[in-house]
Amino acid sequence: MSSSANDFASNPLGTSITLEELYDAFELLDDWEDRYAFIIDLGKQLPPFPDAQRTEKNYVHGCQSQVWLIHHYDKESGKLLLLIDSDAIIVRGLAAIILLAFNNLTPTDLLATDIDKLFERLDLFRHISPTRGNGLRSMISKIRNIAAAEIA
């Protein structure tokens, strides 16, 4: 479901916080315990998710946790703005990583983004459970479907 631009104004992920900063942080952190803490901290930077948007239409199926996703297509800039929320702190952090990669891109650029390359660089799938990995793929699939619909 599309939402108003105001819901997305305070989202730093993909705007003031970038993928390069994520890569730099991961390189500085020596072990996965520290990286998990960093991922959780990223999730804490997600802006508030509008309670009215916690609907079945915005629910991401395929995740172990409860996850909601909304978007706004800014016709002026041609960019897709995204918000994700979850009831699980680690999933909120993983959602933040997805937002670093996808938020504030044009739908064409979003669809061209090699998200698998990002996860390989972070070595993420080796360090999360298969069910969390499936949840990540479900979020990505829903975002890609939204981007494709905006192009159509």
User: Are the CB atoms for 40 and 89 separated by under 8 Å?
Assistant: yes
* Tokens standing for residue 71: 């978007």
| pTM given for the model | 0.89
End-to-end CA distance of the chain: 16
Could you say which architecture CATH assigns to the domain 5-151? Answer: Alpha-Beta Complex (3.90)
Q: Would you write out the chain's pLDDT as a tens digit for each of its 152 residues? A: 445 566 676 677 666 778 888 899 899 998 999 999 999 999 998 888 999 999 999 999 988 899 999 999 999 999 999 999 999 999 999 999 999 999 999 999 999 999 989 988 998 888 888 888 888 999 999 999 999 999 97
**79 given a catalytic annotation:** no
Size (the chain), residues: 152
Annotated catalytic residue, options 63, 69, 83, 146: 63
pLDDT at residue 1 in the model: 44
